[in-house]
Amino acid sequence: MKRYLKFWGTRGSCSVCGPQFSHFGGNTVCLEVQYDDTLIIIDAGTGIRPLGHTIHNKKKIDLFLGHTHWDHIIGFPFFEPLYKKNTEINIWAPQGKGRSCKELFTEMLSKEFFPIHLEQLQARLEFKTIYEKTPIQIGPITLDFHATSHPGVTYCFKIKTPNETISYVTDNEIPKTPQKSLIEFHKGADILIHEAQYSAKEYTEKGGWGHSPLEEVITLVNEIQPKRWIVTHHDPNHTDAELFDLEKHARSQKLPCPVEWIADGCTIPLK
């Protein structure tokens, strides 16, 4: 059976293109979790478009959103299963402080922005709410949620398979709030996926934007003690060369595990 994580998009904030981004890619975040017959998608950035082309004869899909900023939802209208009859898509998202996820998606697919309205999609859509530290069972996988430090209501994920625990944290500004609860939530993960969007110098100008400088994430990783650390949600200004430099710097530091800056299209096998 198929068991893997696949990163269909690894860029944060805004998609990019050009030869200077050819290694890591330019699609915004989208993660596929495939575990036997269970398919879970986290984030609907532009990476969800190529993912959609690979899904055939799937009757049920669960799509989870940690929050509804543009880089996490902009690919949604281009997700091919939306246009297939007899497909059920559950869209899970936290309840924000304003409009509901369904209201936001209805506006995104209004006639001023897109030629097909939400009610014209052929798949059956159901919008569901996720709550902090309230686990949800999807097949053999349990998902749990924890708030992060990011503008608006934003959750990260703990994904538990029968054999492993994967933590997925794309938007979290470590210096802005205490992280003790977050550390306990993700303690000892087999795979920690956590952003490191800024260098220390960049962070002096971008504090409050909802993302972390690399040095602070290194401290967090040493507290969580994962078996593997993967970095995603790369800054749109960072070229391949700059991302390789950040990776090299991280590997030169004291870490409890291997670290890798992940690229679009990379697949991580699961047990």
* Per-residue confidence band for 176, with pLDDT thresholds at 50, 70 and 90: confident
Token pair in block for residue 32? 């596929």
pTM of the model: 0.97
Report how far apart, in Å, the C-alpha atoms of 171 and of each of 19, 57, 154, 175, 210 are.
Answer: 26, 33, 8, 13, 6
Give the sheet arrangement for strand 165-169, strand by strand. 136-138, 141-147, 155-160, 165-169, 191-194, 229-231, 259-261
- Worst-scoring range by mean pLDDT, 95-109, 128-142, 195-209? 95-109
Q: Quote the pLDDT of residue 28.
A: 98
* Per-residue confidence band for 215, with pLDDT thresholds at 50, 70 and 90: very high
Per-residue pLDDT tens digits for 220-269 = 999 999 999 999 999 999 999 999 999 999 999 999 999 999 999 999 99
β-strand partners of 94: 130
* Per-residue confidence band for 93, with pLDDT thresholds at 50, 70 and 90: very high
Whether 147 shows a pLDDT value over 90: the answer reads yes
* Phi/psi at 31 (5° precision): -120, 130
Q: What's the rounded mean pLDDT across residues 131-137?
A: 97
Q: Quote the pLDDT of residue 177.
A: 82
Q: What's the rounded mean pLDDT across residues 156-164?
A: 98
Whether 148 shows a pLDDT value over 80: the answer reads yes
Contacts of 242 (CB under 8 A, 6+ apart): none
Mean pLDDT computed over every residue of the chain: 96
**CATH assignment of 3-269, among 3.90.340.10, 3.90.209.20, 3.60.15.10, 3.40.50.970:** 3.60.15.10
**Left (φ > 0), alpha (ψ -120 to 50) or beta: where does 86 sit?**
left
Query: Hey, how many other C-beta atoms are within 10 angstroms of the C-beta on 24?
Result: 25
Q: What's the rounded mean pLDDT across residues 127-134?
A: 97
CA dihedral 184, 149, 255, 268 (to 10 degrees): 90
- Comparing CA positions, the residue from 165, 146, 141 lying closest to residue 156 is 146
Domain ranges of the chain: 3-269
CA dihedral 38, 152, 234, 145 (to 10 degrees): -30
Query: Hey, how many other C-beta atoms are within 10 angstroms of the C-beta on 145?
Result: 21
